[in-house]
């Protein structure tokens, strides 16, 4: 018997299926101390269903691979402790609902990579001095904590419920753009892109992305809203437009 | 036998097609990459927790407080100010008090100015979240199905107007100055000897007369209403200074603080606003409640339901002649 | 024969971690068509797990630093079994590679005067690790990933290479399958760069993810490449030991760099006992001196105090903890206590945020309040494919390697922080080497159809069987075998038993049966990975058996001392028909001018920390 065995058992209701449909299958799993949902899934793979499809890598909440919906909430399976769920009740594990299913818990997230390619890369300003203070980058370093688990994309109702992938880039990429736009010496202008391509106006700041972020990035308040304000500077602030017309100044200063 | 490659992540980036005017386009074909989420009906979810509780509570809170604000602004025009017992309490809903002669009797003067605080709150980044969730169910809770498929976020009228938030912020900052003057006034009591005469002449059109009648000298004092008005303005100040637009304007718009003119102070200011901004939701609720509470207290005193307690007087601290005080008024 | 997808590139890079991305970027910048193939999604490679930082003698914090000192530290840390030329190139080029990352948009933590901040790490004389809190690897991979995608790489995600093909001894291409659909892909190319990382998943207690199954080493071995130094497997001293689900999960060396103190169950700060006599003078003599060093680090100023004993090299700290536990002085869950809770909570959360959350969420331990429990965990393979230091070329024409999959830089033991710099320094060189080779080759070599067909049949065989066990059981047995017999301390008897067990496991692996379809079938994927793990496990064991001494990460209980004769050879593993051959090959001779560094340095290094006493203007103050 394992050192961490607790003698308890938990029932996992795991979605098994593919694009043609599927259903939840119940598995009873022995519980070890500190066990997470991903451990339970691995136990099922090793003992009950060797072909149970799941995507995972580090099992330490650092790579963002094992995204799924646990009891209906988008979460990393490696961070979902079994003892944080009500005892004696089954735990449902389903694939993310925003992306097309491949099989079981695996979804096709390649759309995200397609969007990422469209974002103008880092471009240092000409003659920039490569010196800045820690206080200049604290803000951006928060955005760069993103592990690309795509849980924010999964929970975002614009993508999930309204299916507007043709109009909206989703929170992940607004965070990425924020990281580039607020880089102390980046010189590229992504404001028109934000408005016309990334569709930042479609975000109605209801903050589900912030709620599910496993890295604790304050996506809405620190990334999206500041970017919305930059779009306002450029397009919706008549006084600034007049000021720019008179002085020839750029915004953001 | 080679099969056409389809699955690799190719680096060639296609030109970005901008859609119909005002409608963004990511370059993805409509309907491509769709998942199971869009097929969920309203309220459908595997969430087993009480996900409906927060939106319902939020809706109830907003209905009660906004309902009261409406009552106070429209119907209760007669009791927005309390001028008895040496007090001068003005309901925050009616500040700044502007009452032009052309205003019809049936129309509350509050409506002339309320558009500013109302607009500030309606376009506020926090309240937007609250009412989109509680009243539009867009979404009602995270990972829960929605009632409508159609959605245009904030890219079309009227929601496009949310972008004017900063103009309401400018107005709110002006209002703050006026509201703080009201706070000072709420702590300055008139001499009691003459104050007894005040109620007889108090009316919407006889304010000056009333004030003159009560002008037996002034002193610093604390009444229940003074604290309520201080609390109200204090919360409004925190709410206003924690505004996302303000955070942007004071420094958030900079990419490099240390490279900008006055970068140090701007970073400092931005940092302070950022700390306040972290509690923007709390200030939004507390300030809404505090304003209603201050109005309620003033109104109850004015109607005579409540007797405003005098908690402390500092007669020796501030005895000023009428003239200098009139600067404030 | 089933239909298959085919792609042709000049260069195929297998693996998309730091080295793979850097290699692909370089080859692509040189005008080659590059295909980047990885088993996971892009950006999930093990590089994201690297926490502490990237070692480069930038001399921003300690101005006395320079490539010579970095070179010396690397050689000493590797017990002089390193390829001197690799260590030299590495030390010389790392600063440029770090600056290059910054120019691609990486945001490292800053010094007060606005330059890249550096922190102390085990085995490094000076504060040398450029870092981003404790998520340096993530910053690096994201930076390279975005750079690569915008530069025109074709990325094949979730695609597993099963075999390399050669044509007249030259690399000609590879067969792969899409994990998602199970369909085959043939890559035709002129050169292959192997950057597949390590072999940790052959062990049960490991900091590595499922991907680290020795694919690259096994693929190269199969086409005749030489593997060297396979006996040198680094056990990171600090992995989590509790709860069971996270056993082995890495606790960054940054904890010790920030002042973490190791104690046994009796509260004894035991590391002083285990400092090797030859290097004892480099460490603080007592608690007070260690504390003075730490205070100086916190305040960001220079000091004449020497570093705490916890910052000894990884092999040494790992053995120390192992010994303490084995001799009955372990914590309740069989580890040592690592204490950072005496530092201000705010600093701990700021400097080690991931560690704080990792323990809080996975172990219910608040590291700002209570010590962590830690123990050794399989972490890094020093050995791997033998490469040419300047071009990354393996011993098979057209085959290149870099990063953890290659060998030579780290010798018998790797210093913390030297792996991230290894990735970018040698990733770039291997990419350039492959591109030059590919451009010089007129036509793409040919892959014989029957070779492809034979391989596809082999890969699909587990589906055909009507009986046989699941691969999970075999994997578990392999992990038990390696943990038990080829761990930190080794003896001939254990190693021989391991070889016997491996033989039976190879047979069991050949007979596994897979149920279900080819679509995203993890059991099937594991069956392929098992073959590679078994190959590298055998290489580790055979090389370990042959090295009858204790050096660096390789400790033989039956041969506890150094053997000078073995210090002049690498154990070289090659494929001899179907059998594995291991033989010593001579270590390249270090040129006189580099040797001179050590002759002068023996005195110089000892005196150096004292010479650092005067504070220098460039070092600034607070951090």
CATH code, domain with A120: 1.10.1060.10
pLDDT of residue B216: 61
Looking at the fold, whether A126 and A208 belong to one and the same domain comes out as yes
Looking at the fold, whether C207 and C108 belong to one and the same domain comes out as yes
CA distances for A155 relative to A67, A151, B45, C375, angstroms: 11, 6, 12, 38
Classify residue B311 as exposed, middle or buried by CB count within 10 Å of its CB (0-12, 13-18, 19+): exposed
Q: Which of B1, B7, B258 sits opposite C178 (nearest CB)?
A: B7
Looking at the fold, whether A47 and A152 belong to one and the same domain comes out as no
Looking at the fold, whether A129 and A183 belong to one and the same domain comes out as yes
CB C130 within 8 A of CB C117: yes
- What is the nearest CA distance from A248 to chain C, expressed in angstroms? 29
CATH assignment at residue C496: 1.20.58.100
E strand or H helix at B163: none
pLDDT of residue C281: 93
Rounded (to 5) percent helix, strand, coil in chain A: 40, 20, 45
Q: Which neighbouring-strand residues pair with C149? A: none
* Residues spanned by the domain of A212: 110-247
CB C136 within 8 A of CB C156: no
Final residue before a domain boundary, out of C377, C408, C440: C377
Instruction: Assess whether pLDDT exceeds 90 at residue B77.
Output: no
pLDDT bucket at B316, cuts 50 / 70 / 90: low
Interchain proximity C154–B8, CB inside 8 Å: yes
pLDDT of residue B136: 96
CB B276 within 8 A of CB B242: yes
- Give per-residue pLDDT as tens, A130-151: 999 999 999 999 999 999 999 9
Question: B177: how many CB neighbours lie within 10 A of its CB?
Answer: 9
CB C264 within 8 A of CB C372: no
CB A108 within 8 A of CB A102: yes
Residue C618 is assigned to a structural domain of this protein: no
Catalytic residue among C170, C236, C414, C528: C236
Looking at the fold, whether A74 and A50 belong to one and the same domain comes out as yes
Residue A34 is assigned to a structural domain of this protein: yes
Q: Which residue has the tokens 């924690």?
A: B242
CA distances for B212 relative to B100, B217, B225, B313, angstroms: 21, 10, 22, 22
Strand pairing class (B188-190; B218-223): antiparallel
* Residues 124-153 of chain A whose Cβ lies under 8 A from any Cβ of chain B: 132-133, 135-136
pLDDT of residue A83: 92
A241 touching chain B per CB within 8 A: no
Looking at the fold, whether C74 and C148 belong to one and the same domain comes out as yes
pLDDT of residue C607: 36
Looking at the fold, whether A178 and A216 belong to one and the same domain comes out as yes
pLDDT of residue B240: 98
Chains with ≥3 CB–CB distances under 8 Å to B: A, C
Question: Distance between alpha carbon C202 and the CA centroid of its chain, in Å?
Answer: 14
CB C160 within 8 A of CB C77: no
Rg (CA), chain A: 22
Range in B21-35, B274-288, C458-472, C502-516 with the lowest mean pLDDT:
B21-35
Looking at the fold, whether C122 and C217 belong to one and the same domain comes out as yes
Q: Which residue has the tokens 């991305």?
A: C21
Looking at the fold, whether C493 and C563 belong to one and the same domain comes out as yes
E strand or H helix at C46: none
Looking at the fold, whether C166 and C199 belong to one and the same domain comes out as yes
Q: Which residue has the tokens 């809170």?
A: B61
pLDDT above 90 as % of chain C? 86
CATH assignment at residue C324: 3.90.700.10
* Angle, in degrees to the nearest 10, between helices C136-151 and C18-29: 30
Q: Which of B32, B132, B133 sits opposite A165 (nearest CB)?
A: B32
Beta strands in A91-216 (DSSP E): 91-94, 101-103, 106-107
Looking at the fold, whether A138 and A152 belong to one and the same domain comes out as yes
Instruction: Assess whether pLDDT exceeds 60 at residue A109.
Output: yes
pLDDT of residue C133: 87
Residue A55 is assigned to a structural domain of this protein: yes
State whether the Cα torsion C56-C59-C61-C65 is positive or negative. Answer: positive
Question: B101: how many CB neighbours lie within 10 A of its CB?
Answer: 5
- Write the DSSP string, C69-84: HHHHHHHHHTTT-S-H
Range in B36-40, B61-65, B125-129 with the lowest mean pLDDT:
B36-40
Report the residue of A15, A40, A51, A66 to disrupt the C interface, i.e. the one with the largest count of C CBs within 10 Å: A51
pLDDT above 70 as % of chain C? 96
For the residues C491-518, what does the mean pLDDT come to? 96
Which one has a higher pLDDT value, A127 or B323? A127
Into how many domains does chain A fold? 2
Question: B62: how many CB neighbours lie within 10 A of its CB?
Answer: 17
For the residues C44-64, what does the mean pLDDT come to? 93
Separation of alpha carbons A141 and A136, rounded Å: 10
* Residues spanned by the domain of C278: 239-377
Instruction: Assess whether pLDDT exceeds 70 at residue A105.
Output: yes
Cβ contacts of A237 on chain B, cutoff 8 Å: 163, 166
Q: Which of B129, B155, B249 sits opposite A207 (nearest CB)?
A: B129
CB C406 within 8 A of CB C427: no
Residue A182 is assigned to a structural domain of this protein: yes
Q: Where are the alpha helices (DSSP H) in C412-512?
A: 418-440, 449-464, 471-485, 492-510
Looking at the fold, whether A130 and A175 belong to one and the same domain comes out as yes
Instruction: Assess whether pLDDT exceeds 60 at residue B13.
Output: no
Instruction: Assess whether pLDDT exceeds 60 at residue B180.
Output: yes
Catalytic residue among C119, C179, C204, C256: C256
pLDDT of residue C253: 87
| Geometric angle at alpha carbon C154, from C148 and C158, rounded to 5° | 100
For the residues C567-576, what does the mean pLDDT come to? 97
State whether the Cα torsion C489-C494-C495-C499 is positive or negative. Answer: negative
Looking at the fold, whether C531 and C437 belong to one and the same domain comes out as no
Which one has a higher pLDDT value, C259 or B203? C259
Separation of alpha carbons B322 and B217, rounded Å: 6
Final residue before a domain boundary, out of C326, C351, C377: C377
pLDDT bucket at C36, cuts 50 / 70 / 90: very high
Cβ contacts of A57 on chain C, cutoff 8 Å: 40, 44, 46, 209-211
For A103, residues 6+ apart whose C-beta sits below 8 A from its C-beta are A17, A18, A53, C519, C520
Q: Long-range contacts for B182-185 (Cβ within 8 Å, ≥24 apart)?
A: B182/B90, B182/B92, B182/B95, B182/B229, B182/B233, B183/B226, B183/B229, B183/B230, B183/B233, B184/B328, B185/B88, B185/B90, B185/B328, B185/B329
Question: Length of chain B in residues, anyone?
Answer: 329
Strand pairing class (C11-14; C191-194): parallel
- Give per-residue pLDDT as tens, A44-68: 999 999 999 999 999 888 999 999 9
Catalytic residue check, C119:
no
CB C578 within 8 A of CB C510: no
Catalytic residue check, C46:
no
Nearest to C56 by CA among C23, C90, C80: C90
CA distances for C380 relative to C193, C445, C611, angstroms: 20, 34, 34
For A20, residues 6+ apart whose C-beta sits below 8 A from its C-beta are none
Final residue before a domain boundary, out of A107, A122, A146: A107
Instruction: Assess whether pLDDT exceeds 70 at residue C445.
Output: yes
pLDDT bucket at B317, cuts 50 / 70 / 90: low
Looking at the fold, whether A120 and A227 belong to one and the same domain comes out as yes
Instruction: Assess whether pLDDT exceeds 50 at residue B11.
Output: no
pLDDT of residue C279: 87
Q: Which neighbouring-strand residues pair with B219? A: B189
| Strand, coil or helix: C590 | coil
Q: Which residues of B touch C (CB under 8 A)?
A: 1-5, 7-12, 258
pLDDT of residue B320: 56
Instruction: Assess whether pLDDT exceeds 90 at residue C458.
Output: yes
- What is the nearest CA distance from C459 to chain B, expressed in angstroms? 19
pLDDT of residue B200: 44
Looking at the fold, whether C32 and C172 belong to one and the same domain comes out as yes
Instruction: Assess whether pLDDT exceeds 90 at residue C278.
Output: no
Residue A253 is assigned to a structural domain of this protein: no
Looking at the fold, whether A70 and A173 belong to one and the same domain comes out as no
Looking at the fold, whether A195 and A162 belong to one and the same domain comes out as yes
Residue C600 is assigned to a structural domain of this protein: no
Q: Which of C3, C150, C153 sits opposite B3 (nearest CB)?
A: C3
Report the residue of A103, A210, A223, A229 to disrupt the B interface, i.e. the one with the largest count of B CBs within 10 Å: A229
| Strand, coil or helix: B23 | coil
What is the four-CA torsion angle of C360, C363, C364, C369, rounded to 10 degrees? -70
Cis (ω within 30 of 0) for the bond into B96?
yes
Beta strands in chain B (DSSP E): 81-82, 89-90, 188-190, 218-223, 310-314
Separation of alpha carbons C129 and C260, rounded Å: 17
CB C509 within 8 A of CB C516: no
pLDDT of residue B218: 87
* Residues 45-104 of chain A whose Cβ lies under 8 A from any Cβ of chain B: 69, 71-74, 89, 92, 94, 96-101
pLDDT of residue B21: 64
- Give per-residue pLDDT as tens, C403-413: 999 999 999 99
State whether the Cα torsion A97-A98-A100-A102 is positive or negative. Answer: negative
Which one has a higher pLDDT value, C527 or C617? C527
Start-to-end Cα distance in chain C: 63
Looking at the fold, whether C93 and C189 belong to one and the same domain comes out as yes
Instruction: Assess whether pLDDT exceeds 80 at residue C2.
Output: no
CB A54 within 8 A of CB A66: yes
pLDDT of residue B106: 77
Interchain proximity A61–C524, CB inside 8 Å: no
Final residue before a domain boundary, out of A63, A80, A107: A107
Looking at the fold, whether C126 and C226 belong to one and the same domain comes out as yes
- What is the nearest CA distance from B214 to chain C, expressed in angstroms? 57
Into how many domains does chain C fold? 3
Final residue before a domain boundary, out of A72, A107, A142: A107
- What is the nearest CA distance from A238 to chain C, expressed in angstroms? 33
Q: Output DSSP code: residue C19.
A: H
Nearest to C547 by CA among C558, C538, C536: C558
Cβ contacts of A201 on chain B, cutoff 8 Å: 24, 153-155, 160
pLDDT of residue B204: 42
Interchain proximity A79–C361, CB inside 8 Å: yes
Beta strands in A49-205 (DSSP E): 67-70, 73-76, 91-94, 101-103, 106-107
- Give per-residue pLDDT as tens, C289-323: 999 999 998 888 888 999 999 999 888 999 999 99
CB C496 within 8 A of CB C451: no
Residue C359 is assigned to a structural domain of this protein: yes
Looking at the fold, whether A88 and A134 belong to one and the same domain comes out as no
Instruction: Assess whether pLDDT exceeds 60 at residue C353.
Output: yes
Final residue before a domain boundary, out of C324, C359, C377: C377
Residue A121 is assigned to a structural domain of this protein: yes
pLDDT bucket at B314, cuts 50 / 70 / 90: confident
Tell me the count of A-C CB pairs closer than 8 A: 170
Residue C34 is assigned to a structural domain of this protein: yes
Looking at the fold, whether C71 and C148 belong to one and the same domain comes out as yes
| Strand, coil or helix: C1 | coil
Q: What is the interface pTM, i.e. ipTM, of the complex?
A: 0.94
Residue C457 is assigned to a structural domain of this protein: no
pLDDT above 90 as % of chain B? 65
Q: Which neighbouring-strand residues pair with C554? A: C551
Strand pairing class (C34-37; C154-156): parallel
CB C25 within 8 A of CB C151: yes
Nearest to C90 by CA among C387, C434, C399, C438: C387
Instruction: Assess whether pLDDT exceeds 50 at residue B12.
Output: no
pLDDT of residue B201: 41
Question: Distance between alpha carbon C329 and the CA centroid of its chain, in Å?
Answer: 30
- Give per-residue pLDDT as tens, A188-203: 999 999 999 999 999 9
């Amino acid at each position: 018997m394992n050192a961490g065995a607790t003698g308890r058992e938990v029932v996992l209701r795991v979605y098994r299926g593919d694009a043609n449909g599927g259903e939840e299958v119940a598995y009873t799993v022995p519980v070890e101390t500190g066990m997470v949902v991903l451990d339970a899934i691995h136990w099922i793979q090793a003992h009950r269903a060797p072909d149970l499809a799941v995507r995972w890598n580090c099992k330490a909440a650092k790579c963002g691979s094992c995204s799924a919906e646990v009891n209906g909430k988008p979460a990393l399976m490696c961070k979902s402790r079994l003892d944080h769920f009500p005892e004696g009740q089954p735990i449902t594990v389903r694939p993310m609902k925003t992306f097309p299913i491949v099989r079981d818990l695996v979804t096709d997230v390649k759309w995200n990579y397609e969007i990422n390619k469209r974002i103008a890369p880092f471009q240092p300003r000409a003659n920039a001095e490569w010196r800045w203070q820690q206080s200049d980058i604290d803000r951006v370093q928060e955005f760069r904590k993103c592990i690309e688990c795509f849980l924010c994309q999964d929970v975002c109702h614009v993508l999930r419920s309204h299916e507007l992938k043709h109009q909206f880039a989703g929170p992940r990429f607004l965070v990425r753009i924020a990281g580039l736009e607020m880089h102390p010496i980046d010189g590229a202008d992504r404001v028109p892109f934000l408005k016309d391509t990334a569709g930042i106006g479609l975000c109605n700041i209801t903050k589900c992305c912030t709620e599910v972020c496993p890295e604790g990035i304050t996506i809405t308040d620190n990334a999206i809203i500041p970017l919305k304000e930059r779009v306002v500077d450029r397009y919706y602030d008549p006084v600034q437009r007049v000021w720019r017309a008179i002085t020839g100044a750029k915004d953001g200063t | 036998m080679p099969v056409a490659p389809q699955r690799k992540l190719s680096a060639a980036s296609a030109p970005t097609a901008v859609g119909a005017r005002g409608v963004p386009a990511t370059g993805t074909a409509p309907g491509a990459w769709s998942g199971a989420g869009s097929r969920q009906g309203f309220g459908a979810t595997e969430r087993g927790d009480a996900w409906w509780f927060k939106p319902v509570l939020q809706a109830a809170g907003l209905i009660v407080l906004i309902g009261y604000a409406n009552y106070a602004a429209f119907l209760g025009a007669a009791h927005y100010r309390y001028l008895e017992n040496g007090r001068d309490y003005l309901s925050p809903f009616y500040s700044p008090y502007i009452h032009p002669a052309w205003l019809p009797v049936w129309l509350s003067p509050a409506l002339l100015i309320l558009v500013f605080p109302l607009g500030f709150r309606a376009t506020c980044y926090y309240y937007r979240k609250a009412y989109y969730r509680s009243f539009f169910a867009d979404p009602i809770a995270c990972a829960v199905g929605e009632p409508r498929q159609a959605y245009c976020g904030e890219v079309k009228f009227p929601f496009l107007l949310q972008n004017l938030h900063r103009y309401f912020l400018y107005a709110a900052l002006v209002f703050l100055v006026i509201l703080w003057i009201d706070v000072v006034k709420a702590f300055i009591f008139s001499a009691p000897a003459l104050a007894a005469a005040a109620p007889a002449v108090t009316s919407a059109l006889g304010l000056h007369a009333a004030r003159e009648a009560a002008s037996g000298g002034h002193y610093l004092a604390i009444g229940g209403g003074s604290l309520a008005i201080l609390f109200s303005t204090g919360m409004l100040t925190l709410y206003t200074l924690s505004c996302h637009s303000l955070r942007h304007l004071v420094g958030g718009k900079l990419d490099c603080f240390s490279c900008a003119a006055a970068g140090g102070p701007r970073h400092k200011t931005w940092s302070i606003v950022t700390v306040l901004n972290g509690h923007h939701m709390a200030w939004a609720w507390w300030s809404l409640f505090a304003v209603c509470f201050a109005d309620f207290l003033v109104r109850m005193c004015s109607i005579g339901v409540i007797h405003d307690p005098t908690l402390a007087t500092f007669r020796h601290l501030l005895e000023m002649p009428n003239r200098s005080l009139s600067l404030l008024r | 024969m089933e239909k298959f997808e085919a792609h042709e590139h000049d260069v195929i890079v297998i693996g998309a971690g730091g080295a793979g991305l850097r290699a692909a970027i370089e080859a692509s910048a040189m005008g080659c068509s590059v295909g980047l193939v990885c088993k996971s999604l892009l950006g999930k490679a093990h590089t994201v797990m690297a926490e502490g930082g990237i070692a480069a003698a930038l001399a921003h914090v300690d101005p006395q630093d320079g490539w010579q000192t970095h070179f010396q530290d690397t050689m000493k840390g590797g017990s002089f079994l390193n390829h001197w030329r690799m260590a030299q190139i590495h030390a010389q080029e790392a600063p440029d590679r770090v600056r290059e990352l910054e120019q691609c948009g990486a945001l490292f933590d800053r010094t007060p005067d606005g330059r890249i901040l550096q922190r102390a790490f085990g085995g490094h004389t000076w504060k040398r690790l450029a870092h981003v809190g404790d998520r340096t690897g993530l910053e690096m991979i994201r930076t390279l990933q975005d750079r690569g995608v915008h530069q025109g790489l074709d990325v094949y995600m979730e695609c597993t290479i099963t075999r390399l093909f050669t044509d007249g001894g030259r690399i000609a291409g590879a067969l792969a399958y899409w994990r998602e659909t199970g369909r085959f892909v043939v890559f035709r190319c002129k050169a292959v760069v192997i950057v597949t990382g390590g072999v940790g998943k052959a062990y049960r207690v490991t900091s590595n993810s499922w991907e680290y199954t020795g694919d690259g080493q096994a693929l190269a071995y199969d086409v005749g490449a030489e593997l060297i130094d396979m006996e040198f497997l680094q056990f990171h001293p600090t992995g989590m030991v509790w709860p069971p689900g996270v056993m082995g999960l890495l606790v960054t060396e940054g904890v010790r760099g920030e002042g973490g103190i190791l104690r046994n169950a009796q509260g004894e700060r035991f590391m002083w006992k285990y400092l090797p006599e030859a290097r004892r003078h480099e460490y603080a003599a007592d608690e007070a001196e260690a504390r003075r060093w730490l205070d100086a680090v916190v305040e960001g100023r220079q000091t004449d105090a020497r570093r705490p004993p916890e910052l000894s090299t990884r092999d040494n700290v790992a053995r120390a903890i192992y010994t303490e536990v084995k001799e009955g002085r372990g914590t309740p869950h069989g580890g040592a206590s690592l204490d950072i809770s005496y530092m201000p909570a705010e600093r701990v959360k700021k400097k080690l945020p991931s560690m704080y959350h990792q323990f809080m969420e996975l172990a219910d331990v608040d590291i700002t309040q209570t010590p962590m429990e830690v123990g050794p965990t399989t972490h890094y393979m020093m050995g791997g494919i033998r490469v040419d230091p300047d071009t990354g070329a393996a011993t098979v024409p057209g085959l290149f390697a870099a990063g953890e999959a290659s060998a030579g830089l780290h010798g018998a033991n790797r210093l913390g922080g030297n792996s991230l710099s290894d990735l970018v320094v040698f990733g770039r060189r291997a990419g350039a080497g492959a591109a030059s080779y590919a451009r010089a080759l007129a036509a793409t070599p040919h892959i014989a159809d029957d070779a492809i067909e034979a391989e596809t049949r082999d890969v699909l065989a587990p589906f055909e069987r009507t009986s046989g066990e699941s691969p999970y059981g075999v994997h578990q047995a392999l992990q038990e075998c390696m943990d038990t017999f080829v761990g930190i301390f080794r003896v001939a008897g254990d190693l021989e038993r391991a070889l016997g067990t491996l033989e039976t496991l190879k047979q069991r692996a050949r007979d596994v049966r897979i149920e279900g379809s080819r679509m995203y079938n993890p059991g099937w994927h594991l069956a392929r990975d098992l073959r590679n793990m078994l190959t590298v496990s055998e290489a580790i064991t055979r090389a370990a058996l042959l090295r009858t001494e204790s050096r660096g990460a390789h400790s033989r209980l039956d041969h506890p001392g150094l053997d000078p004769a073995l210090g002049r050879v690498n154990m070289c593993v090659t494929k001899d028909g179907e059998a594995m051959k291991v033989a010593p090959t001579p270590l390249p001779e270090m040129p006189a001018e580099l040797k001179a560094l050590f002759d002068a340095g023996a005195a110089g290094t000892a005196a150096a920390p004292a010479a650092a006493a005067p504070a220098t203007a460039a070092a600034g103050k607070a951090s």
